[in-house]
Every structure is written in structure tokens, then in C-alpha cells.
Amino acid sequence: MNAIKQAIPDVLVFEPRVFGDARGFFFESFNRKVFEEATGIRRDFVQDNHSRSSKGVLRGLHYQIQQAQGKLVRVSEGAVFDVAVDIRKASPTFGQWVGTILSAENKRQMWVPEGFAHGFLVISEYAEFLYKTTDYYAPKYERCISWDDASIGIDWPLAGATPVMSEKDLKGRSLLEAEVFP
């Protein structure tokens, strides 16, 4: 498995070695030793989540201000544009974002550490999105930053379309108003 550093060094994209033939394919979707060697940190994943969304659905930018969750995310069907935003006030990359295409075809995964807001846009007809988390979901600590915050400036591949969003996500706050990490 190849670990690819992103413009924000704490965010990594993992590209697996895929073994395939006429019967299908096989790859390791997670290997703790490889993950620890690539990140330099040990994380225990405590929860796996799976969502399905239609084309044009945008989820995020989500985070938990307490019980912060690191997320290892991937797509098993379809494709998404996946985004991580650094919301650690003391970080030299505070307010910056990185994004990548995750798809069933490329089998890539992105590590979104604690202290980051996360979101994705479905760019295929539908997408099945899977993620491992380092802490449990805690609704009372969940926060949302607005997907279109100009101070962050995410270049979503919308091609002029309006994303489909939940009521909760439509009420996301600007980065300047949001509760962030120290």
C-alpha cells in the first residue's frame, strides 16, 4: 500500500496494491502496521459507517468538537470528491483544504485526522461511502462548517449545479464563527 502525502501533510491518501485477473480482484483495505508506519501514529478504530448517496449530494463539512473523530474513508461503489479542512487554530495550515477523488475504481482511501472538518460530493450516479472512525458518534458535539465558506474556498466540482444537502448541513457556520480546535 502506497501512502501519498497531501498539501496538508497530516492528511494522507492510501493507494492499495490491487491483485486482479479474469475472476475479479483482491486488495487489503486496511492494514494496521502499514497505517501506523505511514502516519507515525497509532489509532484504534471503534466504529465503521456506511452511507449511500445520489449524484449531487454534498455531505459536510462535519466534525465533533469533543470526542474528535479521525476518519479513514473510502468508496465501494461510484465516486466522490472528498475534502478535509484543517480547523486546528494553532496549525500553520489552519483554514486550508485538500480534496481528492475517491472511487470504487481507484480504490483509494483518505485519512482525515482529528482536528479536521470533512465532507464529500457525489460525482457519480450514486456512491457507497465507508469510513472507520477513531471515536464514537456523539451528536451533542457534532458541528458543521458551511460547504461554501468563501474564507476556505473549496473548489467543488459542481459545474454550476446546486448540491443536494440536508437541513442540518445547510445551516453550517462560517469558519470564523465556528467552534474550532485550539
Shortest CA distance to 35 belongs to which of 74, 66, 63, 64?
74
Would residue 62 show up in a list of annotated catalytic residues for this protein? Answer: yes
DSSP for 132-156? EESS---GGGEEEB-TT-TTT----
Label residues 40-51 b or e (16+ Cβ within 10 Å = b). eeebebeeeeee
Catalytic pick among 126, 131, 136, 141 = 131
Taking a C-beta distance cutoff of 8 angstroms, is the pair 129, 75 a contact? yes
- Active-site residue, selected from the candidate residues 50, 62, 126, 137: 62
C-alpha triplet 133, 45, 32: angle, nearest 5°: 125
- The answer for residues whose C-beta is within 8 angstroms of residue 126's C-beta and 6 or more apart is 52, 53, 54, 55, 77, 78
Determine the Cα–Cα distance for residues 72 and 95; give it in Å rounded to an integer.
21
> Any idea which residues carry the catalytic annotation?
62, 131
